[in-house]
Structure 1
Amino acid sequence: MGARTSPAEGPEELTVDQLAAKVGMTVRNVRAYAGRGLIPPPRLVGRTGYYGADHVARLTLVRELLGKGYTLAAVERMLTELPDGALALGVFETLVTPWTPAEPEVIDEHQLAERAGIPHDPATIEKLIELGICERLDDGKLRIPNPDLLRTGLEVIKLGVPLDAIFEMLPKLFHQADEVAKIYVELFRGTVWRRFADAGLPADGWPEVQRTLENIIPLAGQALVAAFREAMGREIEIAAYEELGLPPDELPSTG
């Protein structure tokens, strides 16, 4: 057996109790996840195991993935297929972290109706749940996963747009958003990621991949808003002229 080293040497190391406290888990869960191979074995000093930054990163990611609704089996599969190292974990965490900083909100049905300025209607609530705008909790309250989306919808309602029209429009909006997202994801996969994967996932390439991921989402949003603003202007102009009886081909060129 080699010479024992002090746990104080080198980077900060934690006992299992300290690790559990740091990542917000019980010691029992930490041991269970270790038993499933979700974290590598600790560094042993005698009979005491010491854990480092990689263990913290992995367990934090496990907790966040489980919190997003992934099953433990799915988490286990993702982590076992992931290259070792905190850099790879950081990239993966970027992938699963929502873009919007808004935290989910919990309100009751009557508060929601009051915000919308409309009478409380259980059928309306069920439709919102069906569309994924809100989720019903065990205590009967509503969890709003994306408060920004709800807030925008409420403002549209206050402008006088009927609920039925909004409910009809939302699935189309979600579909178009999915299609745009796929365009950007495939752009990333077919260029930056493909070059990185073809190079054998070199360790020094992870930071660049993560920077690209962190930047491409807001840039995609900016490009989408700019393109949408231009398209919206054209469509409003066309509709306005059509309502006045002027055919679209008589409109000034927008090209």
Structure 2
Amino acid sequence: MEEELTVDQLAAKVGMTVRNVRAYAGRGLIAPPRLVGRTGYYGRDHVARLTLVRELLDKGYTLAAVERMMGELPDGELALGVFETLVNPWTPAEPEELDEFQLAERAGVPHDPAVIEQIVELGIAERLEDGRLRIRNPDLLRTGLEVIKLGVPMQAIFEMLPKLFAQADAVAKTYVELFRSTVWRDFTNAGMPAEGWPEIQRTLEGIIPLAGQALVAAFREAMAREIEEVAYEELGLNPKELPSAG
């Protein structure tokens, strides 16, 4: 039989307070429990839906927005599965916290408050109340530091990053709109049938890694063309005489 939980056990399992669980239940975000006398028992679907509510709120959605989304989603486990398929492959590594001097040491450069301010302005780091820095995407920072160690001036990287972010946004919008205007549009036009959600999840699970592979392949080809053109312009080398980039 399905494991059943009391409201206290449910709250502990999903990382909420009992008060919040009762509040979300009152808003219709979870179905009523199975009552035995005066005790309510909750199952897998309640756990899944509350987990999804918590994750959406943690990502900055308002409670009103969460209510609207939850009202259009299928049962909790299917909804949570689709959400995790969408989010998890693109979720950056866990944020890191360090002080300004540790960051300068990691970059191999002297500590400079002006540089720290630029990093904060670019959104790479945010200041905490204790003065330390919270690095939102450690992978991005790590990559930038490696480029600095190769000899590229830090200021040049700062000037390049806004362009990189804008181009990444454009590529992401292209892929998301492709899915939205085809598979998702057909699904919503059909009334978002409950039996169709597993197929939506399977499509997402396949399309996300393929999108990444296609982007890397296209980037490699574009880089090869750019390197050949620059080599010709700067060194006078005929691109046809260069070793094959493949």
Tell me the TM-score normalized by structure 2.
0.90
The answer on 1:72 being equivalent to 2:60 is no
| Separation (CA, whole Å) in 1 of partners of 2:67 and 2:129 | 28
RMSD: 2.0
The answer on 1:236 being equivalent to 2:224 is no
AA in 2 matched with 1:95: L
The answer to which of 29-38 and 152-161 deviates more is: 29-38
- Structure 1 runs, 4 residues or longer, greater than 3 Å off: 250-254
**Aligned pairs (5 A) from 1:11-50:** 11-50=2-41
Of 106, 130, 155 in structure 1, the residue corresponding to residue 97 of structure 2 is: 106
User: Once the 2 structures are TM-superposed, how far is the Cα of residue 23 of structure 1 from its aligned partner?
Assistant: 0.7
The answer on 1:214 being equivalent to 2:214 is no
| Separation (CA, whole Å) in 2 of partners of 1:85 and 1:155 | 43
**Aligned pairs (5 A) from 1:48-67:** 48-67=39-58
Q: Which residue of 2 aligns with 1:3?
A: none
**Aligned pairs (5 A) from 1:118-129:** 118-129=109-120
**1:5-48 deviation line (CA, Å, top 9, x unaligned):** xxxxx311110011011111111111122222222221211111
User: Once the 2 structures are TM-superposed, how far is the Cα of residue 101 of structure 1 from its aligned partner?
Assistant: 5.8
1:112 is paired with a residue of what secondary structure? helix
| Separation (CA, whole Å) in 2 of partners of 1:71 and 1:195 | 28
| Separation (CA, whole Å) in 2 of partners of 1:244 and 1:214 | 45
User: Once the 2 structures are TM-superposed, how far is the Cα of residue 219 of structure 1 from its aligned partner?
Assistant: 1.4
8 Å Cα contact 2:11-2:17 kept in structure 1: yes
Residues 130 and 209 of structure 1: is their aligned pair in 2 closer, same or farther, counting only changes over 3 Å? same
8 Å Cα contact 1:184-1:220 kept in structure 2: yes
The answer to which of 115-124 and 86-95 deviates more is: 86-95
8 Å Cα contact 1:38-1:79 kept in structure 2: yes
User: Once the 2 structures are TM-superposed, how far is the Cα of residue 71 of structure 1 from its aligned partner?
Assistant: 2.6
Number of positions where the alignment pairs a residue of Structure 1 with one of Structure 2: 242
User: Once the 2 structures are TM-superposed, how far is the Cα of residue 241 of structure 1 from its aligned partner?
Assistant: 0.8
Of 112, 120, 123 in structure 2, the residue corresponding to residue 132 of structure 1 is: 123
**1:159-210 deviation line (CA, Å, top 9, x unaligned):** 1111111111111111111111111111111222122222222222211211
| Separation (CA, whole Å) in 1 of partners of 2:176 and 2:124 | 24
Query: Structure 2: any 5+ residue segments left out of the alignment?
Result: none
AA in 2 matched with 1:148: D
Identity, % of aligned positions: 83
Q: Which residue of 1 aligns with 2:195?
A: 204
Query: Structure 1: any 5+ residue segments left out of the alignment?
Result: 1-9
8 Å Cα contact 1:66-1:72 kept in structure 2: yes
Q: Which residue of 2 aligns with 1:7?
A: none
AA in 1 matched with 2:188: A
The answer on 1:252 being equivalent to 2:243 is no
